[in-house]
Structure 1
Amino acid sequence: MKGKVLSLGAAALLAGGAFLLTGQTSVSNAQDLLGVSFIENVKPYLEFRPRYEYVDVDNSGNKNANALTIRTKIGVNIGTVLGVNGLSATLEAIDVSAIVDEYSTFIDVNGDGVKEELQRSGYEPVLDPPNTRITQAYLAYNFGNYVFIAGRKYVAIDDHRFIGTVNWRQMPQSLGVIAVAGKPIQNLDFLLAGVYERKFIVDSGNLDWDLDKMPIVLDVNYKVVPQLKIKGFAYLLTDIHNTYGIKASGAVDLGNGVKISYLGEYAKQTDPYENDNADTKPDIDTDYYRVKVGASAMGFFGNVMYTYFGDAGGKDAGFSVPLATNHKFDGWSDVMLTGAAFGFDYGMKEWCFSVGYKNPTLGKVMIAYLTFDSDKDPVGPAGKNIGSEIDALYAKKLTKRLSFLAKAAWYNGDDGYYNDGVPYGRNDVTKYWLQLDYKY
């Protein structure tokens, strides 16, 4: 066990944050000398997020994991750069430090069963290795109804099902983008982005692409009526696959505080339009759909969701969402993580039933029950019943800036599933989390 409270990286970040908060004299002198204001409307922000995570995997041969980690985030939003109206910037850094490090930090970054980024063997993994990184550094230029963005930033589309920040982990995912977003006409908005880098939650998952071979993100939304929003999207991920899809969602207010929400989504995956880091293009032909219905009234809420991941069908991989925040969708135990990120050989059918209650005074309580089954019969003696899971959560805002979270996941393994011929999900998994989050 190590007693490291903050690494040197965090100390450096804190020192830099102190300069941002108090070092205005030097900036002012430079402006006086040069007669120009380089930056204006500077707003620093901070976050401290300590979290305890416990992991127990039956019959794995590893010791149970006990991880107490701290995320220290320091950032600054600059409202005006070089005196140019509409030109703004954001700069942010995160340090992840471990106080209790009875855990390994391996992850199967390639989906091939090879566990990489190994920090401490003999323990179950917790994907929060000590690390320090510039998480955001970008310029944005607002012109009328459009914004042009260049640099590294968080990219979250809708509910993170295809592209998200993975902000649940202490080191989130950010992307290097050259992008334009806008609203050319009423009720219509779009995002068009080229992605030149990916900074993953662990460094072994980082990727870079040549500018002429960048992944392309196109997302178009149109609000037909207040109760119906339609989306069309194309996510062309170099080296991985092309994804084309459509989504309809909305909510209907029935009066007296009763609301019904719905979502329907379909996507098709094919070969990627280009390969860069990979020697050859993978052969992909599969699909996906998701249907969700929810209801809420007087603080109570409930949802039913069905998700289908298509199988490999004799091709290189089943349907996958490698840039998504998969922890949010496919069980908090993360047993389905490899399949969602790299594909289920025989497909996957998931049911999720969740109920809860939310009140500003009492907080939020939620419990979910999930079942997972293969779509096609696996080759060999294994059956189609992958497993099931129960997730539970309690969250409470303690003060204006401080919040508390307690969360648990109990996965009951059965036949498991396969990715690239490697079995996953056959062992029972128990996970617990306790977290405080302070933001300024």
Structure 2
Amino acid sequence: MLTPLPARKGQRNQKSLLALAIGSLLASSATPVLSQTLTDALTGGAVSLEVRYRYEFVDQDNPLDQAHASTVRTRLGYRTGDFQGFEVFAEAEDVTAVGNENYNSTINDTTDHSVVADPTETEVNQIYVRYKGLPDTTLTYGRQRFALDNHRFIGTVGWRQNEQTFDAFIGANESLPDTTITAGYLYNANRIFSDASPNGNFPMQSPILNVQYQGLAAGTLTAYGYLFDFTTADVNSTQNFGLRFTGGTDVTEDAKVLYTLEYAIQKDYADNPQSFEAAYWLAEAGLAAYGVTVKVGMETLESDDGRSFQTPLATLHAMNGWADQFLVTPDDGLQDLYVSAGAAVKGVKLLAIFHDYSSDINSLSYGSELGLLAAYPVNKHYTVGAKFASYAEDGRGVDTDKAWLWGQVKF
């Protein structure tokens, strides 16, 4: 799985993008700095431990029984010390059910219950080698946690107990002033369904390039290009190019205006049998004042005659409602009009968000959703929280209520 797959036809743009990425990352060179001995590096590393208990409840207006998922996720990792600019990190992950599995994990054959995609498996979550011997540059090869921007195109799906990681070569360079260039090649997504599922791996041949410039007073400008070629799912192969601008401007000592604008275009790529072109739009405005942040936004995933804009590698739970009703964009596209309000009260993070969903074409109404969250970081090691989502269908899906309680320990 950690060996790149052979090249396929129709990938001249892919090779050009990868060449540009490598050239950008290796623009500067230097002799690696010798550090401690190999034995010191292997024995003088750091252990990491994370344990998260979560209870998830799902109730849907359909014949399925309610889901009651009580699970514990444990991650144990070890990072070596530095040896001539190299370090190695390995992390195991285990998800265990507490009591009976009264939910459909997607692989436990409990198909009479609603889905909670937290399969109880033990896996290698991350294992990679990283090189930091070049100035302002980090190179990482292997299975790794990786996300870009707000996770809309490439994300970790960190909300699920078994997160999404990538088998990839990734480089990041900060040689240019106020600029971060992230480039690389993804060749497998280790999905949340686990290796025990036929849907657990998503092999691909996908070069990526993301250039972020933070030198503007008003915010951060990002340009990106992602060429996703899925080797076992040609219909998902797409080329994606976009611009994103996000930031904030102080209007008083206690108030700041917030804004985000993003546009991307998606077309068929590689051996995709379909021919289409669809756009993505995001416009968000907000105000942060006296400890309260209010935002309103519109996110649009267009449809081109029934072929809609898709982002299968995203952290989709964070995008269009916590009830997970839009993990796949409907054929008629999606418009998500939302408003949120958040605050911190005595250290407790509070957030409420309301979504109104409709189609991009054919003037269809889908439904609406209310989400509520409260999370309390007791200190840097301990966090507890609760979350609720209620989706009311109006033409798509079924009424769905979800609730979560969790506690996390991290060292």
Q: Does the TM-score normalized on the shorter chain lie above 0.5?
A: yes
Aligned in 2, Cα 1:35/1:234: closer, same or farther, shift over 3 Å? closer
Q: Note if contact 1:78-1:90 (Cα within 8 Å) is conserved in structure 2.
A: yes
CA distance in 1, matches of 2:288, 2:317: 23
Q: State the shift of 1:36 in Å.
A: 4.8
- 2:251 aligned partner: 254
Q: Aligned-pair RMSD on alpha carbons?
A: 1.7
8 A Cα contact 1:286 1:313, kept in partner: no
The Cα shift of 1:254 comes to: 2.4
- Are the equivalent residues in 2 in contact too, given 1:48–1:71 (CA < 8 A)? yes
Show the counterpart of 2:395: 415
The answer for the alignment partner of 1:103 in structure 2 is 103
> Could you tell me which amino acid in structure 1 is paired with residue 319 of structure 2?
F
Is 1:429 aligned to residue 409 of structure 2? no
How far apart, in 1, do the equivalents of 2:305 and 2:315 lie?
Answer: 25
Cα offset, 1:338, TM superposition? 2.3
State the match for 1:206 in structure 2: 200
Does the 8 Å CA contact 1:241/1:282 hold for their aligned counterparts? no
Match of 1:345 among 299, 322, 331: 331
Shift in Å, 1:208 = 5.5
Q: Percent identity?
A: 28
Per-residue CA distance 1:100-147 (angstroms, 9 max, x = gap): 4100123xxxxxxxxxx4531211110101011111111111110111
Contact 1:57 1:428 in 2 (8 A): yes
Q: 1:286 aligns with which of 254, 259, 278?
A: 278
- The answer as to 2:361 corresponding to 1:376 is yes
Could you tell me how far apart the structure 1 residues matched to 2:351 and 2:255 are? 18
Structure 1 residue 89: Cα displacement: 1.7
Q: Which runs of 5+ in 1 are unaligned?
A: 1-33, 107-116, 378-382, 417-424
TM-score (norm 1): 0.79
Q: Kindly report structure 1 stretches of 4+ aligned residues shifted beyond 3 Å.
A: 34-38, 206-209
Over 3 Å counting, the alpha-carbon distance change for 1:400 and 1:149 in structure 2 is: closer
How do residues 16-55 of structure 1 correspond to structure 2 at under 5 angstroms?
A: 36-39=39-42, 41-55=44-58
Match of 1:386, SS state, is strand
Q: How does 1:210-289 map to 2 (within 5 A)?
A: 214-239=205-230, 240-272=237-269, 274-275=270-271, 281-289=273-281
Structure 2 letter corresponding to 1:260: V
How far apart are the structure 1 equivalents of 2:339 and 2:326? Answer: 17
Paired residues of 1:246 and 1:267 also in contact (CA < 8 A) = yes
Q: Which residue is 1:357 aligned to?
A: 343
- Provide the C-alpha distance between the structure 2 equivalents of 1:171 and 1:164, rounded to a whole number of angstroms: 13
The amino acid of 1:44's aligned partner reads V
Range 40-49 or range 150-159, more displaced: 40-49
Distance 1:300 1:165 in 2: 28
Deviations 1:86-107 (A, max 9, x none): 211211111011114100123x
Gaps of 5+ in 2: 1-36, 231-236
Conserved? CA contact 2:191–2:200, under 8 Å: yes
- Taking structure 2 as the reference length, what is the TM-score of the superposition? 0.85
Q: Deviations over 1:200-242 (max 9, x none)?
A: 0003333364xxx711111011124232221110111003211
Partner of 2:303: 311
Maintained 8 Å contact 1:197/1:208 = yes
Partners of 1:290 and 1:297 lie apart in 2 by 23
Q: Are residues 411 and 325 of structure 1, via their aligned partners in 2, closer, same or farther at CA, if it must alter by over 3 Å? A: same
User: What letter is aligned with 1:337?
Assistant: L
1:64 aligns with 2:54: no
**8 A contact 2:135–2:175 mirrored in 1:** no
Do the aligned residues in 2 keep the contact of 1:90 with 1:138 (CA within 8 Å)?
Answer: yes
Equivalent of 2:151 in 157, 160, 179: 160
In 1: Cα distance, 2:286 partner to 2:93 partner? 36
The aligned amino acid for 1:351 is: L
Give the C-alpha shift of residue 64 in structure 1: 0.5
